[in-house]
Structure 1
Amino acid sequence: MSVRPASVGSFLRSAPPDRLPEVVAEHLRTWFPVSDVELLLSDLTLSSLWPLLDPESPTGGALEQRCFGSQQPIVDNGSRRLLLPLTTWGDRLGVLRIDLTETPTSELRAELTTVADELALGLRAADKDTDRYRQIVRRQRLTMAAELQWDLLPGRSLSGERFQLAGQLEPAYAMYGDHYDWAVTDDRLTLTVLNGDGDGIEAALLTTVAVNAMRNARRSGANIVEQAELASDAVYSRYGGGLHVATLLLEIDLTGGTIEAVDAGSPRALVAHDGDIRAVSLEQQLPLGMFGDSRYETQKFQLEPGDRLLVVSDGVHAAAPGGRSPYGESGLLTALRRTRLQPPTEAVGTVIRALREYHAGSDPDDDAVIVCLDWLRQSA
């Protein structure tokens, strides 16, 4: 009698990068009481789930969306269907839908959850070597600027023992110069939100120079002042002061909640706690690349246990469609209060949808970035 392999991981590692879903489907049908399998990936706007194995089948319904949003397995006992989130380090990819021939026990659910986790990790690694998965999540063609921006992003969400983090760009298919970046190392989270000059591919190229300069400095062990100064020098050497990048750089101590900040332009930060929302007051310095040899200084502010930090570009806080008051003066605060019970992955979508409603059908004048961080450290 054949013995079930201990893990699907070895099969995934030996499979072509574009065939991972088929490998998992075959593994599940062979070794588990499974009649059907479908992999659903989230589109770029995080608003719908699209089938991969059978692209002609329906998109994910209410149960699949609930699984994706809650990041919890869902069992539909009536149909013996099991829905499992596909997530790596908090970055939500989609949902694995499994139809079973028997009611799942807790042991079976645990085994299938492990398969889903291994598939998610494989999908994230394989994404660099095949276009198959990106073709599914794109529901229309990206502009060249948006292509550059999406390739530059670190991911759409990230989580650890002490934090949950998510970001979103709007519009997804025709971005300009707004961007975010993050990295976590040794209990320190570096977060940047940028707003580059101009529009179209020139704005995207400008942002690409700034982001990669900051990454180059960060990966060499530089602090956020050195990151800002290297990026400013790189932008100035390329554009001679004609274009610049408004940037907010934050370095967050995940053990103590202290944040060091370099405020070099228009992105704004707000902190919410128990329903109260306050703007973070920082002394604004020159945008990156405005002058040669620009020098920057850090400022500090403190997060308390349970605080939510929201960072937005000027496409959010300064949006004033049809001569209305800026969205940041009232609409943003209202939207942020609605997110009180939502995790950051859902909160950024809530704020984006409220921003769309604020434009009341008119086309935005600027793209928008929203990044949401929850600091989870419990008070002593």
Structure 2
Amino acid sequence: MIDGVERIGVLRVVALEGTDLDDPELRRTCWWITHLLGHLVTVLDAYGDGLDALRRRRPRTTEAELVWSLLPPLTAGTDAVVVAGRLEPAYEVGGDVFDYALGPTSASFVVLDATGHDLAAGLASAAGLAAYRNARRNGKGLFEQAESVHRTLEAQFGGSVYATAVFGELDTTTGRLRYLVAGHPSPLVMRRGHVVKKLASGRRPLLGLEMRTGVTLGEEHLEPGDTIVLYTDGIPEARDAEGRTFGLPRLVDVLERESAQGIPLPEIVDRLVRAVMQHQDDVLQDDATLLLVQWTTEGQALLEPGRAR
């Protein structure tokens, strides 16, 4: 079953004896039924706790409950852009959030990481995300979006909590990417299955701390099929029992290896996060967040098995 582009389950269909299972009309009907049920399951999920209770393997912390209530769907797609994200640990996450907005000719996105791993970090993330959405929905650009988050955190927490972030705007008609990095790990660009560069421009100070340094806007022109890789420091800084970090080279290696297998974008995200979890024996010392944004001419087909590039 699929809700738009997010695979949420499997539906078993039992056909009558003698039915031609290769009948195109039968397959088309099954396709529509599964998509309709996927939408219904997602819509009904908002009106009760039954489905969520079935999915949970153990209780969430209060801060994790707060963060998950704020997140958009983990996967989404249009004819021009596909987005896939993931947060871990799913039941204890505190300060990491991401958001995006997909329009007819553009895609806006952010990854935000507030300091701490408690409810205060969750509250800071919630306040920062609200400030970002408010600025974006009021038609403000990247400078104003970042400044809105900065002013909100500074006013509410007085410098006791700050955040790093990456703000981005992608023109899906031309491939022009404009971005702003606030004390956050630099995004990567993956092209034809290889990480080809780190986006090192577009800098501003940390959000929530008064720091008088310059602000610059970064710009990159993507090629069709390019993927922007955004992540929080919990991924490269993940440590195993001997204290060895997961590291950026391993992050790049897993991205390239999984991309070469032609699997859908959301599954690349899942496999990378799984590799990070295994590196730490499933015990994260910090929140680990990954968001992939792909500019594409194949659209939602990239979410189907065997169609990823």
Alignment TM-score, normalising by the size of structure 1 = 0.72
Q: In 2, are the aligned partners of 1:232 and 1:294 still within 8 Å (CA)? A: no
Q: In 1, are the aligned partners of 2:202 and 2:217 still within 8 Å (CA)? A: no
Aligned to 1:352: 273
Q: One-letter code of the match for 1:224? A: L
Among 111, 119, 133, the residue aligned to 1:215: 133
Whether 1:377 aligns to 2:276 is no
RMSD: 2.0
Among 198, 202, 217, the residue aligned to 1:298: 217
| Residue 91 (structure 1) shift | 2.3
Counting only pairs closer than 5 Å after superposition, residues 106-255 of structure 1 correspond to structure 2 as 106-255=24-173
Q: In 2, are the aligned partners of 1:249 and 1:262 still within 8 Å (CA)? A: yes
Higher RCO, 1 vs 2 (CA within 8 Å, ≥6 residues apart): 2
What secondary structure is seen at the aligned counterpart in 2 of 1:282?
coil
Counting only pairs closer than 5 Å after superposition, residues 83-122 of structure 1 correspond to structure 2 as 86-102=1-17, 103=19, 104=21, 105-122=23-40
| Residue 293 (structure 1) shift | 9.6
Aligned to 1:285: 204
| Residue 363 (structure 1) shift | 2.6
What secondary structure is seen at the aligned counterpart in 2 of 1:305?
coil
| Residue 325 (structure 1) shift | 5.0
Counting only pairs closer than 5 Å after superposition, residues 49-88 of structure 1 correspond to structure 2 as 86-88=1-3
Q: In 2, are the aligned partners of 1:269 and 1:279 still within 8 Å (CA)? A: yes
What secondary structure is seen at the aligned counterpart in 2 of 1:169?
strand
Aligned to 1:68: none
Among 249, 259, 264, the residue aligned to 1:343: 264
Aligned to 1:45: none
Q: In 1, are the aligned partners of 2:142 and 2:180 still within 8 Å (CA)? A: yes
Distance in 2 (CA, whole Å) between partners of 1:301 and 1:322 is: 39
Q: In 2, are the aligned partners of 1:331 and 1:358 still within 8 Å (CA)? A: no
Counting only pairs closer than 5 Å after superposition, residues 289-328 of structure 1 correspond to structure 2 as 289-291=208-210, 296-322=215-241, 324-328=243-247
Aligned to 2:306: none
Distance in 2 (CA, whole Å) between partners of 1:337 and 1:276 is: 5
Distance in 2 (CA, whole Å) between partners of 1:229 and 1:270 is: 24
Q: One-letter code of the match for 1:377? A: T
| Residue 315 (structure 1) shift | 0.4
Q: One-letter code of the match for 2:270? A: G
Counting only pairs closer than 5 Å after superposition, residues 10-21 of structure 1 correspond to structure 2 as none
Report Cα offsets for 1:25-75 as digits up to 9, x if no partner: xxxxxxxxxxxxxxxxxxxxxxxxxxxxxxxxxxxxxxxxxxxxxxxxxxx
Q: In 2, are the aligned partners of 1:229 and 1:293 still within 8 Å (CA)? A: no
Q: Which 5+ residue runs of structure 2 have no aligned equivalent?
A: 299-309
Q: One-letter code of the match for 1:332? A: L
Q: In 1, are the aligned partners of 2:163 and 2:206 still within 8 Å (CA)? A: yes
Alignment TM-score, normalising by the size of structure 2 = 0.88
| Residue 248 (structure 1) shift | 0.4
Are the structure 2 counterparts of residues 295 and 221 from structure 1 closer, same or farther at C-alpha, using a change threshold of 3 Å?
Answer: farther
Of all paired residues, the percent bearing the same amino acid is 29
Q: In 2, are the aligned partners of 1:177 and 1:198 still within 8 Å (CA)? A: yes
Whether 1:257 aligns to 2:175 is yes
Distance in 2 (CA, whole Å) between partners of 1:239 and 1:289 is: 8
What secondary structure is seen at the aligned counterpart in 1 of 2:94?
coil
Q: One-letter code of the match for 2:61? A: T
Q: In 1, are the aligned partners of 2:121 and 2:161 still within 8 Å (CA)? A: no
Report Cα offsets for 1:171-210 as digits up to 9, x if no partner: 1111120111111123211111111111121111110000
Among 171, 184, 189, the residue aligned to 1:266: 184
Among 355, 359, 366, the residue aligned to 2:286: 366
Report Cα offsets for 1:302-321 as digits up to 9, x if no partner: 21122122111010123344
Distance in 1 (CA, whole Å) between partners of 2:10 and 2:239 is: 37
Aligned to 2:303: none
**Structure ID, larger Rg:** 1
Q: One-letter code of the match for 1:213? A: A
Report Cα offsets for 1:218-263 as digits up to 9, x if no partner: 1111112211111111111001112111110011111111111111
Q: In 2, are the aligned partners of 1:233 and 1:292 still within 8 Å (CA)? A: no
What secondary structure is seen at the aligned counterpart in 1 of 2:10?
strand
What secondary structure is seen at the aligned counterpart in 2 of 1:272?
strand
Distance in 1 (CA, whole Å) between partners of 2:292 and 2:153 is: 27
Q: Which 5+ residue runs of structure 1 have no aligned equivalent?
A: 1-85
